[in-house]
Amino acid sequence: MTTQVSSPAIVAQDLSKTYRSETDEPVLKGVSCVIETGARVALLGASGSGKSTLLNCLGLLDRPDAGSLRLLGQDPAGLDENERATFRLRNMGFVFQFHHLIPELNAQENVEIVLSLAGETEAGWPAQLLEWVGLSEKRKKYPWQLSGGEQQRVAIARALALRPKLLFTDEATGNLDRTRSMEVMELLFRANREWGTTLVSVTHDVELAAHYPVQYHLKDGRI
């Protein structure tokens, strides 16, 4: 009997990135990492260390200047912007420090719009996700009617709408107190446990990062 071994979710090799400025100092300087399928990985480092830039490159929100990248067994280098957007929509979820909810849409509509963009309908799923994050009674509330922690939980439900294989978070708990931060982290971990979603989180919070089995520490653009 043969055992199937899944390929890594992310393989990055010698990624470099420079943003044009007076100094032209590289933000990433030959970063390499392998992230296994279903892993929970924290990216740590001081402000300016390159952790958010690395996450943006891994999540196809930015392009590295050099190096190679494989995501879910595919090489995204040849994809145009529309193809990259489609790949992100179908395979990735994102949660940022600021929730970026659409103010004109209520909580459930903010989740439903992701399914709509993907051309999918799944009756009851957005409401189920909001129940999952503890907001079933507030699904018709608009962002301005929700607390900061509640808005972030809607953002998580939205990020999970298409059951992403890769979930990227960037300081997702940065605006929350310790209790709310732990609640948000547990929701992210639940997706990781129940769906095998690979979770990559940028954080400066060493206490939270301690709950991630794998940690990459960045300093001056290097791991």
Which CATH number fits the domain that encloses residue 109? 3.40.50.300
Look at residue 19 and tell me if it is in a domain: no
Look at residue 159 and tell me if it is in a domain: yes
Question: In the structure, what pLDDT confidence band is assigned to residue 121 with cuts at 50, 70 and 90?
Answer: confident
The Cα–Cα gap between 145 and 74 comes to: 41
DSSP 99: -
Q: Which domain holds residue 164?
A: 38-62+79-218
Contact, 26 vs 17, CB < 8 A?
yes
* Distance in Å from the first CA to the final CA of the chain: 39
Instruction: Tell me what pLDDT residue 158 has.
Output: 93
The Cα–Cα gap between 54 and 37 comes to: 18
Q: Write down the mean pLDDT value for the chain.
A: 90
The Cα–Cα gap between 15 and 68 comes to: 7
What does the pLDDT average to over 124-150? 91
- Look up residue 217 and give its amino acid: H
Instruction: Tell me what pLDDT residue 23 has.
Output: 65
Predicted confidence (pLDDT) at residue 1 exceeds the cutoff of 60: no
- Collapsing DSSP states into helix, strand and coil, what is residue 23? coil
Instruction: Tell me what pLDDT residue 159 has.
Output: 93
Task: Enumerate the β-bridge partners of residue 96.
Answer: 170
- Residue 108 burial (CB < 10 Å; 0-12/13-18/19+)? buried
Look at residue 89 and tell me if it is in a domain: yes
What does the pLDDT average to over 121-134? 88
Predicted confidence (pLDDT) per residue in 148-185, tens digit: 889 988 999 999 999 999 999 998 877 777 887 888 88
Look at residue 202 and tell me if it is in a domain: yes
Domain count of the fold of the chain: 1
Predicted confidence (pLDDT) per residue in 24-74, tens digit: 788 999 999 999 999 999 999 988 889 999 999 999 999 999 999 999 999
- Collapsing DSSP states into helix, strand and coil, what is residue 78? helix
Look at residue 3 and tell me if it is in a domain: no
Predicted confidence (pLDDT) at residue 22 exceeds the cutoff of 60: no
The model's pTM is 0.90
Question: What is the β-pairing status of strands 198-202 and 166-170?
Answer: parallel
DSSP 222: B
What does the pLDDT average to over 105-126? 89
Burial 75-93 (b: 16+ CB within 10 A, else e): eeeeeeeeeeeebbbebbb
Instruction: Tell me what pLDDT residue 201 has.
Output: 95
Q: Residue 127 contacts by C-beta under 8 Å, 6 or more apart in sequence?
A: 108, 136, 139
CA dihedral 71, 194, 200, 76 (to 10 degrees): 10
Task: Enumerate the β-bridge partners of residue 167.
Answer: 93, 199
Which ranges constitute the DSSP H helices of 133-204? Answer: 148-159, 178-195
Handedness of CA 87, 212, 42, 149 (dihedral sign): positive
Look at residue 23 and tell me if it is in a domain: no
Look at residue 57 and tell me if it is in a domain: yes
Instruction: Tell me what pLDDT residue 7 has.
Output: 85
Q: What separation in angstroms does the CA of 100 have from each of 106, 133, 172?
A: 13, 17, 12
Look at residue 133 and tell me if it is in a domain: yes
The Cα–Cα gap between 72 and 87 comes to: 10
What does the pLDDT average to over 200-209? 90
